[in-house]
Structure 1
Amino acid sequence: MKNDVKEFFDNSEHRPPKFGVLQGVKVVFSAIEVAGPLGPHFMAEWGADVIWLENVNGGDTNRNYRPSEHEHRNDRSMSLDIFSEDGMAVFKKLVKEADVFLVGGKGPSFIRKGITDEFLWAINPKLVITRISGYGQEDADPNYIDRPCYDGIAQAMSGYMSQNGTPESPMPAYPYVGDLFTAMFSLSSTLAALIRARETGKGESVDIAMTEVLMRLSTYNMVDYLNDGRMYPRPGAKDPIQGATGIYKTKNGFLFTNILGRKQMKTLFNMIGCEELYGVGDFKEGFSFINLNWDKADYVESKVEAYFKTKTNEEHIEIFDSMKVAAAPVLSFKDVVEHPQYKARDMWVDWDTMTTEEKYKGVNVVPRFKVNPTKIWRSMPHIGYDNDVILEDLGYSEEQINELYHKGVIFRNDRDK
């Protein structure tokens, strides 16, 4: 049975409905753009009550980009001057009720302003604190700890970018893997810490450096350098380690394939006219892949490329299916949207936004939870859209809330609408 993902959708509602595996979890975050906000956003899609703390001078700098509507659905927005006296009082009350506080920025900026782990645990001993920066919160080189770090900077500084591109030039991997991988590390580590905090009653502090995330994910190649000094060439569209793996030009497009397996190798050598090389020299019979260090690897790879150009994607896939080899055409967005696989999985969803008259089209919530399904209960909120209700739930009166607006401690850009 398909999930009615918009079952509770109501942009006029300011309190989240109860749904999902994270219902009852309260998350407060202060971060902009992608690496910081995306982890809490996934929690919001899975049922957590997520409060997005924005500044009172215009909110998140990414708000003007169309993807932000997608990546902030289900969030609640509070625009708060945290470091004013009244703002700090509000912040303390938020933290006291939260399970998670996540902050992103240049180095230990919040710590220097007094929001240390000890300060937060004095308010809420069970709090999970996640801090995201480019180079870490402590023990970093003083020349780097305060430097700004964006996706491309993290890729460049971590060695990740050096592995991508062509022999002539490295290139960044898109879309924004430094941001996206960091967000997934923050999501997983925060939830892991939350499990432990709930078991022990003692909070945790998680220090995530974007550069280190990409180093950890580069170990597939980096360990060969660390252990024997081996460097792999930038492969372009191919795998840097094994042949017959990567993107190949066909008669009608491009195909990605990963030809692995003992039987598959023998069949491949026959298909490309290299049967005399199978089981010869360094390529022993029974090998499951073509090691690019083999002295005949370049020749075999040229034969593979020539073979791919003789058939269409569809013809190749039929052959590879019979060989039990994974292969897929390189689909455009148009191909993906029209593909029967993704229609069958109900991957496309639209919703009403708070800022446009047209419906916004996006990707459905991933992954699927069978017992506690995910929901999209609202679109991206206006800046400070939920100030009043959040403050009311913290015990503030209407008069006190109006005073905070008057002082500029809170801001809501649609208040008169």
Structure 2
Amino acid sequence: MTHGPGLSLLGDVRVADFSHALSGPYCTLLLADLGADVVKIEPPSGDQSRGWGPPFVGPDSLYFASVNRSKRSVVLDLKTEAGRAQALEIVSRSDVMLENWAPGTAERLGLGADEVRARNPGLVYCSISGFGKDADAGMGYDQVVQGTSGVMSLTGAEGHPTKVGIPVADLSSGMFAALAVLGALLEVRRTGTGRTIDVSMHDSMVALLTYQAAIALNTGEAPRASGNGHPSITPYGVYETADGRFNLCVGTDAQFRRLCHALLGSEVAQDPRFATNATRCAHRDALEGLIDQTVGVLTTAAVLDLLAEARVPAGPVRPLHQTLADPLLRRRDMVLGYRDEASTEALVINSPWKFDGRAPTLRRPPPRLGADTRAVLDV
């Protein structure tokens, strides 16, 4: 088990976390892994994701456990006057407040940015919503936003919109929110005045469109779904060998020449159709056919050995269990184990930073519902 004191970069920061599900809890997970004291404030029924199983670890889902380590849990009934007063007291003693309620909910509860920052001018107040605090565009569930943002239209095969296999709208908005909170905390140290931050899942997904959006904005043509290929680079994608698949990513003309030297032969290297990336894209089908013909009779291991020797970017397409069994993850401290007070054990994935060679550690297991209510309220 890997409990420990953890990183202390944010050791003097307290976060009042009213969020639930994934986008907000992922934001506060990152802050907790940096050392912040995250007080997770839940209704009597608990964060809805506690029930998002099977599988479960103890009474809570592994979904919940994966993003709520190193936090404390306080139960407050915000439908009551006493609960709202206790919430305001916690916020008044905090550096950051995070919520991801539907727009307008915080204000109805008396926990809107204007009200709480009037009590605590140095507070960094961060809201995550589906489409923005000023929008009334429906509920922002991850898959809904993957669809409205256009991301699904770029994923999978053309004509078959496909969601990304992880909840990227939730995770990206959580990361963007954490980055904004850190910037605002730096400003508070200079000025003493907090900020009100509005992060939407939809905006976050649109921000991730980067070059795809730039292409559409400047050409008037929407990029098409390209499956495992790349709309602007060739060869770039998944190729089948005699016993499996591998990714090949040739980003420069020099890499292409090395690919030819390793696998395709001098005739392909000298073919004017393939002289530059632009001409390779124009003759994509012909080049892909040559690659398929060459690698289709070789094993994946043989192909990857040849490409590694030639310094051509390539790698295996693994099932998840192989990735999780890779010793590299343990060497990089990317897997954390914990044992809670009931001796329940589980493994979760760590945040990816290393500070002076040191990774975050799990300071405490994911909290049981309300486990820290008395300790926090009695301060």
TM-fit CA distance, 1:316: 1.7
Aligned to 2:361: 375
Which residue in the other structure is 2:58 paired with?
A: none
Seen in structure 2, the aligned counterparts of structure 1 residues 168 and 372 have a Cα distance that, compared at 3 Å, is closer
Describe the superposition over 1:133-162 as per-residue Cα deviations: whole angstroms up to 9, x where unpaired. 111112x3x4x1xx1111101110111111
> For residue 374 of structure 2, what is the amino acid of its counterpart?
D
Query: Does residue 73 in structure 1 map to residue 69 in structure 2?
Result: yes
Q: What is the CA deviation profile of residues 81-104 of structure 1, one whole-angstrom value per residue up to 9, with x for unaligned ones? A: 124221122112111111100000
Pairing 1:352–2:352 present: no
292 and 177 in structure 1: CA distance in 2 versus 1, 3 angstrom threshold:
farther
Q: How far apart, CA to CA, are the structure 2 residues paired with 1:384 and 1:53?
A: 8
Note if contact 1:238-1:246 (Cα within 8 Å) is conserved in structure 2: yes
Pair 1:346–1:209, CA change in 2 (3 A): closer
Distance 1:27 1:169 in 2: 42
Is residue 2:120 matched to residue 1:124? yes
Matched with 2:372 is 386
| Structure 1 pair 304–119 and aligned structure 2 pair: CA distance change class (3 A) | same
TM-score, structure 2 as length reference:
0.90
**Aligned match of 1:107:** 103
More helix by share: 2
The alignment status of 1:244 with 2:235, answered yes or no, reads yes
Alignment-derived partner of residue 56 in structure 2: none
Task: Note the residue ranges of structure 2 that are not aligned, 5 or more in a row.
Answer: 52-60
- The Cα of 1:69 is off from its aligned counterpart by 1.2
Distance 1:250 1:276 in 2: 20
Contact 2:249 2:313 in 1 (8 A): yes
What CA distance in whole angstroms lies between the structure 2 residues aligned with 1:250 and 1:329?
11
**What amino acid sits opposite 2:72 in the alignment?**
R
Q: Is the 8 A contact 2:280 2:287 kept in 1?
A: no
Q: Give the letter aligned to residue 226 of structure 2.
A: P
Deviation at 1:373, TM superposition (A): 5.5
* Residue aligning to 2:199: 208
TM-score (norm 1): 0.82
Aligned pairs (5 A) from 1:172-211: 172-211=163-202
1:372-403 CA distances to partner (integer Å, 9 max, x unpaired)?
Answer: 7532122111111100000111xxxxxxxxxx
Q: Contact (CA 8 Å) 1:107, 1:133: kept in 2 or not?
A: yes
Query: What's 2:130 paired with?
Result: 134
Residue 35 of structure 1 aligns with which residue?
23
2:352 to 362, 366, 371: 366
Q: Structure 1 residue 276: deviation in Å? A: 5.5
* Contact 2:132–2:200, Cα closer than 8 Å, also in 1: yes
Which secondary structure state, in structure 2, belongs to the residue aligned with residue 361 of structure 1? strand
- 1:40 counterpart letter in structure 2: T
Q: How far apart are residue 349 of structure 1 and its match?
A: 3.0
Distance 1:197 1:372, change over 3 A: farther
Q: Which moved more, 1:178-187 or 1:327-336?
A: 327-336
Counterpart in 1 of 2:306? 319
Matched residue SS, 1:6: coil
Deviation at 1:80, TM superposition (A): 0.5
Q: C-alpha distance in 1, partners of 2:125/2:103?
A: 15
Larger radius of gyration: 1
Structure-2 separation of matches of 1:291 and 1:218:
25
Q: Which of 142, 152, 164 is 2:143 aligned to?
A: 152
AA matched with 2:23:
A
More displaced stretch, 342-351 vs 373-382: 342-351
Aligned to 1:6: 3
Q: Distance in 1 between matches of 2:179 and 2:313?
A: 29
Work out the number of aligned pairs and report it.
Answer: 369
In the alignment, the residues of structure 1 paired with residue 222 and residue 249 of structure 2 have an alpha-carbon distance, to the nearest angstrom, of: 22
Deviation at 1:292, TM superposition (A): 6.3
SS at match of 2:371: coil
Once residues 98 and 322 of structure 2 are traced to their aligned partners in structure 1, the CA distance between those partners, rounded to angstroms, is 37
Q: Which amino acid aligns with 2:38?
A: V
- Separation in 2, partners of 1:217, 1:112: 32
TM-fit CA distance, 1:269: 4.3
Superposition RMSD on alpha carbons, in Å?
A: 2.2
Q: Percent identity?
A: 26
> How far is the alpha carbon of 1:369 from its aligned partner?
2.1
What is the distance in 1 between the residues matched to 2:30 and 2:146?
Answer: 23
* CA distance in 2: counterparts of 1:373 and 1:311, whole angstroms: 40
TM-superposed CA distance for 1:353, in Å, is: 3.0
Q: Which residue of 2 aligns with 1:307?
A: 294
CA distance in structure 1 between the partners assigned to 2:228 and 2:260 by the alignment: 21
Question: Do 2:19 and 2:99's aligned partners in 1 also have CA atoms closer than 8 Å?
Answer: yes
Decide whether aligned partners of structure 1 residues 88 and 338 sit closer, same or farther in structure 2, where only a CA change above 3 A counts. Answer: closer
